Structure 1
Amino acid sequence: MADYLVIVESPAKAKTIGKYLGKKYTVKASMGHIRDLPKSQLGVDVDHDFEPHYITIRGKGDVIKSLREARKKAKKVYLAADPDREGEAIAWHLQNILDIPENEQCRVVFHEITKDAVKAAFDAPRQLNMDLIDAQQTRRILDRLVGYRLSPLLWRKVKKGLSAGRVQSVAVRLIVDREREIRAFQPEEYWTVDAKLMAMKQKFTARFHGYGQDRTPLNSREDVERLLECVNGHDLVVSKVKKSERRRNPSPPFITSSLQQEAARKLGFRAYRTMAVAQQLYEGLEIRGEGTVGLITYMRTDSTRVAETAQAEASDYIRNRYGADYVPGKPRQYATKGGAQDAHEAVRPTSVLRSPDAMKSDLSKDQWKLYKLIWERFIASQMTQAILDTTSVDLTANGALFRSTGSIVRFPGFMAVYTEGQDDASLTDEDAKTLPPLAEGDVFKSPEYESEQHFTQPPPRYSESSLVKAMEELGIGRPSTYAPTMDTILKRGYVLLESKRFVPTELGEVVVDLLTQNFHQLIDVDFTAQMEGDLDQVEEGRIEGNQLLSRFYETFEHDLEQAEKSLEHVHLTEEVSDVICEKCGKNMVVKTGRYGKFLACPGFPECRNTKAITKETGANCPKCGKVIVERKGKKRKVFYGCSGYPDCDYVIWNKPTGQSCPVCGHPMVEKTSKGKTWVTCSNEAAHETAGSTMMVRS
């Protein structure tokens, strides 16, 4: 019989911790939360201090029975759920279910699942933190009040089956506001003129800057013609060469939001995928020669703090691997934003000695990619600055100034390991561009000029990465809420993901307008951010959760009553297609679901026929000659197949261009790798000819 019972959330975590604790400890998993508010009713007594009514989650009866039996056999119980509000709440519910005394020092907390961290936590157990629990419970009740009181109103006034959420509604508003900004955008014309030059057998360009030292925009073809009249027939003379040193600092180690953003940029991971894989790395994986090991620190954090022991280990590794010049004089410290929970560390590897190369054979493809990203970011964050030599050259012709800039890396510093995704474009465009040796007075005779028309572009739609960044900057939600928020608004059909960008549906716009007109505080960005700050104060014990709930509910209840009286039923328009339902003969209509638009029979529920909306590519099937269309597989991955399916099974994975290979007649397709896109024959494996590859595009 084991002396001690330890309860964690997941079997993977239980397995890792059990390895460190020994035979006297039995480690069991609660499988997440064991109690919650009921799904069938509000579950909150608004007339009695918002008292919640918790019930056992369906399917958790056997888990609770097993835990109670183990509790009877153990001398002491330790609650080792994750180190955040949700983890503290899980521990509190377990304490209640298992009748553990309130003052029992049963809570153990660790931010990485390593032998030293786990043993240190069990050496210093504490009582449950009721302020953390109050903050979690207050957030849960707030979200329940909004969801369960507002959703029925949306059912009655807009569409059956709708629901609303406190943070999700504001996220949809950001997407809707951006879409309307794009629609209202008026593009403005502008032109660029580049001088094409060569020196020391090296080609380079210089772009028109202005007349004299003042920047002069070129807004029309007439402006360009005026400039060309000014410079044609005149030599282009180097008037100034400026050389300077520029230093770049590394990015801080990851927090939750920056991890999600960078995984989206560099790996193409959606936020949910990033967090799921990070959870696996945190809880522990089987590593040959070591057994089950937690590879990263806790992944839900907004602190950039790093333990001194981890900094020292990183410094030693960098010194041995790259040399003393790559180690800063003292360990790097990064400022953590206000309100961050500094008890947590940044997301980092539990040991830098487990290099990505050493881990590759033990991890799945996704696990390895994310681990490599985390490892490289952390190592780089503890390295010296990069030093770049930057050159700026001014050239003049009859009073017109042209400018060319370029940089070379004199000392790579942290860039030897990692550069942040958002900086890669600037590196390609400027830092990686070098100029030939030039001196004042150098003359370029009869240079060639190239002009190009441009139009200003509207702001881009939000990607998952940029939406996370916006929510973080505006103070909407917390690290643990970003991924579920984006998943929820997709499930509800308020937004779609098109080309990895969020697009609001008509339903999303209707709901945002309804909420804006009738529930201003609920959908107000500043109010939502203030609410997050108030929840942090509950966690810090500065205000009581009931005080926050009362203040919110008074206004919310008033708005509900007014909306119920004044709101008319909202009619959503339905797009009718020219596709005939083969089952009942009606014209099918366009519907929007979680994965985008599809065709459905308007005779529902009598006729339940649905069809995918196919997008023609302009290419023809080489097997039967029918049109190739865009399709989606079971995991929503896009592929391209013959419209004659199932009679013809021709499939390709790359997007057809609409052109055919001049050699074999198969469709030409686009391929992308490392920022480069090129066009090649889809049948390239079957033949190697110069005609197979037609062009290369950046």
Structure 2
Amino acid sequence: MSILVIVESPGKVHKIQGFLGSDYEVMASIGHIRGLPTENLGFDIANNFAPSFVTLSGKEDVVKKLKNKSKLATKVILCSDYDYEGEAIAWHCAEVCNLPATKRYRATFTEITKKSVTTAIAATLETNRCIDMNTVHTQFARMVLDKLIGYKISPLLWKEFKNFHLSAGRVQSPVVRLIVEREEEINKFASSCYFKVMANFVLDKKDLSYTSGDAAATTTTTTTTNCIETECENNITNKEDVETIMNSCVSKNAQFTITSIKQTTTKRNPAPPYTTSTLQQDASSKLGMSPDVCMKNAQKLYELGLITYMRTDAVFIADDAVKSMGQFISEKWGDNYFQKRVFKNKSASSQEAHEACRPTDIKKFNIMELNGMTKSHNSLYQMIWKRTLGSQMSPAEVEIRTVKIGMKSTKYIFVGKHEKILFEGYLAAYNFGKVGKVGKVGKVDKLLNSQNTDVEDSDADDGADGDADSSTTSNSIKQSDYLETIFAKLKDGDSVYCKGMDGCEKFTKPPHARYTEASLIKKLDDLGIGRPATYANIVKKVQEEQRQYVERKSLPAKKVKITILKYTYPDKVTVSSNDANQEGDKNKLFPTSLGVMINSYLLKHFADLINYEFTANIESQLDSIATGAKIWYKVVDSVYVKLNPIIDQLANAIKLAKEMGTTTSTDEIPQSSKGKRLLGTNPVNGLPVYSMITRIGYAICEANPDKALSRFANFNTNPDTITLAEGLAMLIYPINLGKYKDADILVKKAKSVYINYSGKNYSIDIYNKNNPTTTLDPNQLTLDTAQLVIEDVLNMKNKIAQQQAENPDVKVNDDITIIYGRYGPYIKFNGNNIKIPAKFKSQWNTLTLVECTTIIDNFKKKGAKSSGGKVKIPKKVVKAPKATNTNFDSETIIKPKKVAKVAKEKVAKVAKEKIAKVNSIQITDTATDTATDTATDTATDTATDTATDKPKKRIVKAKANANANAKANAKANTKAKPKPKPKNTDN
């Protein structure tokens, strides 16, 4: 038989098969085929953490086919990706297929082109390259560490906080800490005001009479004037100082002279080509593409042979690629634009396993004509193309002209500046494909600043008004076009005359803004936490709904009153108060109340786990395994011996506390988790107000004897220092804004603030997303702005109704219906909404059964992404709960009249099943006690949560029966372990 070639992704199979021909057969493992079991640790701690692998669920058919094909093949070439995971996949495939050393070969390539693939295959057949077991062991260590931490610590969180969705992770937990600490830093920051003062000067007194040159005109237009536009470089913090300067101009006492004239030429070098980290950062900050979407798009580009491998730490480019780029640059712009560069990594942890991420064919700029490519793919590809080409080009030469004007007898200095590009250099690549030429200074300056190598920590993309601080950096000084024309005439000591001046009140911002996804990745990269290949997954994971440690959201700019002072020649000074926007945030990462609470717990008991240096040191040791400098199980053991005593101590403390019938009896648990803390009573109604812990984090509760009328509000600050006044300030919802069309408009708050009107809820977040130019602050809603939200939703519904009336549903058969919805046409199949590909949208209402079936089949093959990776079950089906989880499945539908009865019967049945199922599982002594506690708690919770619509007596009865059943069975089965499977939280 032919030679078998095994690759990771099925997307590569067809292309590589075409390169190799009929003497080879290409198959895909579709990622990992084996892993650790989910029901237990899966490795023997006493035996050097030796792992016991099992075939992953859903991969049975893949493994069977690989085995059959490998038996018939004369040789098997393992071509999984060239990284830790890829090397491990190659090893697993060899083990599963029982490949002898003489039959198995390892080949890698960093781009899917015919030359690269055939060269790699030929080389491995000649040299008989082996699997790198050091790299495989590195993956073992990462996998075991992540499972160890998740499996051991997560149950402590479940028991302490009664929430089975909680988890801890080697990289995940430090990431949450970063976001929590940044939020704490911002909350502690006290903003103060300062004044940004702009002034326009002329060289000749006769020019003072030109009305077109006043400060208002020159600071709000881009037209060239006869004024030198300047900004005061002094830090002015009060209005009186600004008035003093302006009044001096009125009284003719102010004398301004040129104190400095400077002309310099500087070179600005291009950024290095992309690594995984910098690619994700730029895709997020420049294209608005999340790290997860960025990597999926890059994967597609890689599989089509358009770019080199996107998971890389390296910044070097192969010599043949540099040569090709040199030819392209010289032909396009000239020899003086080409400059060969060799970049070195700044990060000491860089692996440099392969090249930087670059295009495989530099002559290809637009890929929209290729099958399956979208605008999103094209924009990412062109960003990579420009960065790569620019990295091998000459620096841009920029001329900077600066003049400083001093006010005699005072400390005030006004600075005017002009920048002019003398030679484009690498900027020609960044400007390639744009209409027009680089011309105006403002645009050039923006272009120059946009090509920074790193994402700024401040990420000034939120559109907020107000500067963090007054500054004299090149980015903050106003460009003066007129300065270029008269620069040669300027001399030190010459008098100039003020034609107009503006003083605008601003407010300082915290030194560091909230993280965006881009700046968070940069921070992780700087700290050496995690690895670029895992960044996208980690950033996504901490935001997942089941964890809810972090949320990505926007805060509208707040309306503030600011003071504006204006001087106009010869004697007019005005002071006014205007509304302005301040401190808005766009697409930033915020810690949730739950995230703050879990971080506090881990920081108290597992400080090393979320210590940045400790985490980075683990990464460094893991990298050392790949070089053979460290033994993998010894690295794992060094972490285990540090964490395990703490885990055992906390488990015993929780066990003892439960036996005594209290939350805890020791100081081993955070003070805030000892129960609710009375803050005082509400002076308005006399009700007690508490700070407390809930399943979703810290909360304020105003306890009403009628529990249905109790009020709650979540918060994400320190629960031990919060005061009654602060707590009452949070308990403002619901707010009645007034009547609209004979019904009250109420503002309520759950996870976020929303509007309730006439029995229906209206999302403010959705309104802001649909109306970015009229963003509303949920905390400053009025009757008028609330009406905007309601009317927007009603208008949208009317629009959808009109579209649906004009585009009636098309019933293809009993199971398939084509519907025209809010976002266009889609297929409805067994409760799934399936997107219709772009090539079919123009004829959506004439699709045949065969075409619809093809679309549905493709949807299933992709894992039904729209339904979370699996096809949804129609709502008419009632699923029985799994034995490992007593909560009802999210798709379960129960009729209200039978809720209490069903809850009672179901809880009893589930409790028995959970106890019986695990009789064969070997566990530790501490897990024995967990059986009783977990079965009792979860059974009680299920009864309570499910039976809320029936009388309290029936709920109490159901709970009592559930407790009795659970305790009786747990006692009879002391070796039982009825707890949920710990989550493996990190990759």
When the two structures are superposed, what TM-score results if normalisation uses the length of structure 2?
Answer: 0.58
CA distance in 2, matches of 1:10, 1:60: 14
Q: Answer with 464-473 or 411-420: which moved more.
A: 411-420
CA distance in 2, matches of 1:373, 1:55: 41
Q: Deviations over 1:377-430 (max 9, x none)?
A: 100111000000100101123244211122011111001122577457999766
Q: Deviations over 1:118-153 (max 9, x none)?
A: 112112221000000000110000000011111111
- Aligned residues: CA RMSD: 3.2
Unpaired stretches in structure 2, ≥5 consecutive residues: 204-223, 431-446, 453-459, 461-472, 555-586, 654-667, 676-692, 716-749, 769-773, 777-783, 804-987
- Assess, with a 3 A threshold, how the Cα gap between structure 1 residues 88 and 190 changes in structure 2: closer, same or farther: same
Question: Contact 1:7 / 1:28 at 8 angstroms: preserved in 2?
Answer: yes
SS at match of 2:32: coil
Question: Which residue does 2:356 correspond to in 1?
Answer: 346
Shift of 1:452: 1.8
- Assess, with a 3 A threshold, how the Cα gap between structure 1 residues 311 and 423 changes in structure 2: closer, same or farther: closer
AA aligned to 1:397 is: M
List aligned pairs for 1:228-247, cutoff 5 A: 228-230=246-248, 232=250, 233=252, 234-247=254-267
Question: Which residue does 1:217 correspond to in 2?
Answer: 235
- Assess, with a 3 A threshold, how the Cα gap between structure 1 residues 559 and 610 changes in structure 2: closer, same or farther: farther
Shift of 1:455: 2.0
Alignment equivalent of 2:406, drawn from 391, 396, 408: 396
1:380 maps to 2:534: no
Question: Which residue does 1:178 correspond to in 2?
Answer: 182
Question: Which residue does 1:309 correspond to in 2?
Answer: 320
Question: Contact 1:628 / 1:643 at 8 angstroms: preserved in 2?
Answer: no
AA aligned to 2:427 is: M
Question: Which residue does 1:455 correspond to in 2?
Answer: 507
- Assess, with a 3 A threshold, how the Cα gap between structure 1 residues 392 and 619 changes in structure 2: closer, same or farther: closer
Q: Deviations over 1:288-337 (max 9, x none)?
A: xxxxxx00000011110110111110010000011112112x44434453
Aligned residues: 607
Question: Which residue does 1:685 correspond to in 2?
Answer: none
Shift of 1:468: 0.2
AA aligned to 1:18 is: Q
Q: Deviations over 1:426-485 (max 9, x none)?
A: 997669764332311554334312112222101211000000000000010001111000
List aligned pairs for 1:178-577, cutoff 5 A: 178-197=182-201, 201-209=225-233, 216-230=234-248, 232=250, 233=252, 234-284=254-304, 294-328=305-339, 330-356=340-366, 363-399=373-409, 400-418=412-430, 422-423=450-451, 434=481, 435-436=483-484, 437-438=486-487, 439-440=490-491, 442-458=494-510, 459-491=512-544, 492-499=547-554, 500-564=587-651, 565=653, 566-567=668-669, 568=673, 571-572=693-694, 573-574=698-699
Question: Which residue does 1:696 correspond to in 2?
Answer: none
Q: Answer with 383-392 or 418-427: which moved more.
A: 418-427
Q: Answer with 353-362 or 506-515: which moved more.
A: 353-362
Question: Which residue does 1:642 correspond to in 2?
Answer: 793
Q: Answer with 538-547 or 224-233: which moved more.
A: 224-233
- Assess, with a 3 A threshold, how the Cα gap between structure 1 residues 244 and 310 changes in structure 2: closer, same or farther: same
AA aligned to 1:267 is: L
Question: Which residue does 2:11 correspond to in 1?
Answer: 12
Alignment equivalent of 1:597, drawn from 716, 736, 751: 751
CA distance in 2, matches of 1:235, 1:431: 22
AA aligned to 2:157 is: L
Question: Contact 1:355 / 1:375 at 8 angstroms: preserved in 2?
Answer: yes
Question: Contact 1:196 / 1:450 at 8 angstroms: preserved in 2?
Answer: no
Shift of 1:166: 0.9
- Assess, with a 3 A threshold, how the Cα gap between structure 1 residues 275 and 420 changes in structure 2: closer, same or farther: farther
CA distance in 1, matches of 2:474, 2:359: 27
- Assess, with a 3 A threshold, how the Cα gap between structure 1 residues 335 and 552 changes in structure 2: closer, same or farther: closer
Question: Contact 1:250 / 1:414 at 8 angstroms: preserved in 2?
Answer: yes
Shift of 1:598: 5.7
SS at match of 1:239: strand
SS at match of 2:46: coil
Select the structure that is richer in strand.
1
CA distance in 2, matches of 1:46, 1:96: 22
- Assess, with a 3 A threshold, how the Cα gap between structure 1 residues 576 and 497 changes in structure 2: closer, same or farther: farther
CA distance in 1, matches of 2:364, 2:796: 48
CA distance in 1, matches of 2:366, 2:122: 32
CA distance in 1, matches of 2:775, 2:618: 53
Question: Which residue does 1:160 correspond to in 2?
Answer: 164
Shift of 1:226: 3.6
Which of these two proteins has the greater Rg computed from alpha carbons?
2
1:627 maps to 2:768: no
Shift of 1:72: 1.8
CA distance in 2, matches of 1:371, 1:545: 38
Question: Contact 2:281 / 2:521 at 8 angstroms: preserved in 1?
Answer: yes
Q: Answer with 566-575 or 443-452: which moved more.
A: 566-575
SS at match of 1:47: helix
Question: Contact 1:49 / 1:546 at 8 angstroms: preserved in 2?
Answer: yes
Shift of 1:253: 0.3
Question: Which residue does 1:129 correspond to in 2?
Answer: 132
- Assess, with a 3 A threshold, how the Cα gap between structure 1 residues 423 and 348 changes in structure 2: closer, same or farther: closer
- Assess, with a 3 A threshold, how the Cα gap between structure 1 residues 482 and 619 changes in structure 2: closer, same or farther: closer
Question: Which residue does 2:836 correspond to in 1?
Answer: none
1:145 maps to 2:148: yes
Question: Contact 2:75 / 2:103 at 8 angstroms: preserved in 1?
Answer: no
List aligned pairs for 1:663-674, cutoff 5 A: none
AA aligned to 2:588 is: R
SS at match of 2:111: coil
CA distance in 2, matches of 1:486, 1:453: 37
Q: Answer with 22-31 or 441-450: which moved more.
A: 441-450
SS at match of 1:106: strand
Question: Which residue does 1:671 correspond to in 2?
Answer: none
AA aligned to 2:373 is: L
- Assess, with a 3 A threshold, how the Cα gap between structure 1 residues 301 and 589 changes in structure 2: closer, same or farther: same
- Assess, with a 3 A threshold, how the Cα gap between structure 1 residues 198 and 276 changes in structure 2: closer, same or farther: farther
Residue identity over aligned pairs, in percent, reads 33
AA aligned to 1:410 is: L
Shift of 1:533: 0.4
1:39 maps to 2:33: no
SS at match of 1:136: helix
Question: Which residue does 2:85 correspond to in 1?
Answer: 86
Q: Deviations over 1:590-633 (max 9, x none)?
A: 799xxx92699xxxxxxxx996754577999xxx9982329xxx
When the two structures are superposed, what TM-score results if normalisation uses the length of structure 1?
Answer: 0.81
CA distance in 1, matches of 2:190, 2:146: 39
- Assess, with a 3 A threshold, how the Cα gap between structure 1 residues 575 and 66 changes in structure 2: closer, same or farther: farther
CA distance in 2, matches of 1:304, 1:108: 22
CA distance in 2, matches of 1:283, 1:357: 14
Shift of 1:356: 2.4
Q: Deviations over 1:569-607 (max 9, x none)?
A: 672245789xxxxxx987897799xxx92699xxxxxxx
Question: Which residue does 2:954 correspond to in 1?
Answer: none
AA aligned to 1:453 is: E
